[in-house]
Amino acid sequence: MLEFSGGIVPSAAILDASDPLAIEKAAGIIRKGGLVAFPTETVYGLGANSEDPLAVARIFEVKGRPRIDPVIVHVADPASAARYGRLPDLAQVLMKRFWPGALTLVVEKTDAVPPIVTAGLDTVAVRNPSHPAALALIRASGCGIAAPSANMFGYVSPTTAQHVAEQLGNRIDLILDGGPCSIGVESTILSLAGAVPSVLRAGGIPLEEIEALTGKLTVLIHAEQRPMAPGQLKRHYATQTRLVISAEAAQDLRPGERAGLLSLSMPGDSEKYAAVEVLSASGNLKEAAANFFGALRRLDSLSLDRIIARPIPEEGLGLALMDRLRRASAAETPPEADSGPPTAG
Ligand code: TXA
Ligand code: MG
């Protein structure tokens, strides 16, 4: 609970996203400039009317997000994407194959996008989510919805309504509960704004699936390799508990240390750890992605000395998971010290 001069701020209502009345109420809040957390197939988003600069400014305040980090505009269909971005031929091909779904496209922006949304860049990120509640909310609102993940900046992304309520419940107007996110990691971000298409963030659509259509892509997901725009922090998706990636985790345990283990499949030495999170008993990377952020949150809630993560194979959704683990394990760097481009949030 937040204390303010008027007393305690009540926590936002959590409404069932499958209820049409809840969608209507949420859309009314968006139209009036309020903030609604809503489910998508990737992670929960914190949404505002993308054409209302004051509403978008509130997103940055509530998340503690630096204004230099642009947000994605969520649309209900490819036609609405054209209101906000200039879509080249390749965008049409990609939208036909992957929309609605977990692919975000960065393209040249139109005047319908206020500068605060894109942090002053002349490009905009557009995404057409597939979650029925997200689509219903966008349609009922009658505008694009600017939305970052609904977590405090830099922390683990939310994959349930409860996760949102724990961090942001008393700072926003409404939470729509659409159940746990089916994919569990953020969208893949592909920029079509440069000389060649380039992948800015590994995410819910595996790189291999996009490359099957486009041919080999330039991949710029490591901050140091991306000198083009502000915003991306090397440390992100981070737990409060220190996290290290180690293949031989058990050998690294210090005497008396209470460590938690995050592992794709069941380890042989689980008794050495104070807690163990297995992402998928069968080693399935889709199941692992769906469990990933929830498992990190559970480990982070146990006041452990350290979280030790076993490396995950970097294929399919594993590429996105290892990217998140690397950022979570990166040493703390102040935002000014980071010169990489956007793609975290
Ligand atoms: O799956 C997702 O993409 C989720 C759900 C809610 O849709 N959203 C999400 O938003 O992950 P966020 O803000 O946490 O991450 C989006 C990233 C930002 O870090 C930003 O750097 C990048 O997208 N981005 C946005 N606009 C951009 C632009 N014009 N150029 C390059 N990167 C951009
Ligand atoms: Mg984020």
Residues 214 and 257 placed together within one structural domain of the fold: no
| Structural domain includes residue 5 | no
| DSSP letters for 227-290 | -SSS---SS-SB-SS-EEE-TTHHHHPPTT--EEEEESS--TTGGGSSEEEES-TT--HHHHHH
CB distance 47 to ligand 1 below 6 Å: no
Residues 185 and 258 placed together within one structural domain of the fold: no
Helices (H), the chain: 20-31, 53-63, 78-84, 89-98, 115-118, 132-141, 161-168, 207-214, 249-252, 285-300, 318-329
| Structural domain includes residue 308 | yes
| Structural domain includes residue 340 | no
- What spacing in Å lies between the alpha carbon of 152 and ligand 2's midpoint? 9
* Structural domain harbouring 188: 13-219
CB distance 183 to ligand 1 below 6 Å: no
Identify which of 35, 44, 67, 72 to mutate to test ligand 1's pocket (most ligand atoms within 8 A of the CB): 72
Residues 277 and 141 placed together within one structural domain of the fold: no
Is the preceding peptide bond at 227 cis, omega within 30 degrees of 0? no
Q: Give the closest residue (by CA) to ligand 1 atom 15.
A: 345
Q: Which amino acid would we find at residue 209?
A: E
Give the CATH number, domain containing residue 161.
Answer: 3.90.870.10
How far is residue 222's CA from residue 328's CA, in Å, rounded to a whole number?
Answer: 13
- What spacing in Å lies between the alpha carbon of 342 and ligand 1's midpoint? 8
Residues 318 and 178 placed together within one structural domain of the fold: no
Q: What is the pLDDT along the chain (345 residues), one digit of tens a residue?
A: 444 455 566 789 999 999 999 999 999 999 999 999 999 999 999 999 999 999 999 999 999 999 999 999 999 999 999 999 999 999 999 999 999 999 999 999 999 999 999 999 999 999 999 999 999 999 999 999 999 999 999 999 999 999 999 999 999 999 999 999 999 999 999 999 999 999 999 999 999 999 999 999 999 987 554 434 444 567 788 899 999 999 876 677 888 999 999 999 988 888 899 999 999 999 999 999 999 999 999 999 999 999 999 999 999 999 999 999 999 998 665 444 444 445 556
Helices (H), 18-88: 20-31, 53-63, 78-84
Domain total of the chain:
2
How far is residue 343's CA from residue 143's CA, in Å, rounded to a whole number?
Answer: 23
Residues 73 and 158 placed together within one structural domain of the fold: yes
Around Cβ 121, how many Cβ atoms within 10 Å? 22
Give the CATH number, domain containing residue 280.
Answer: 3.40.50.11030
Output the pTM of the full model.
0.93
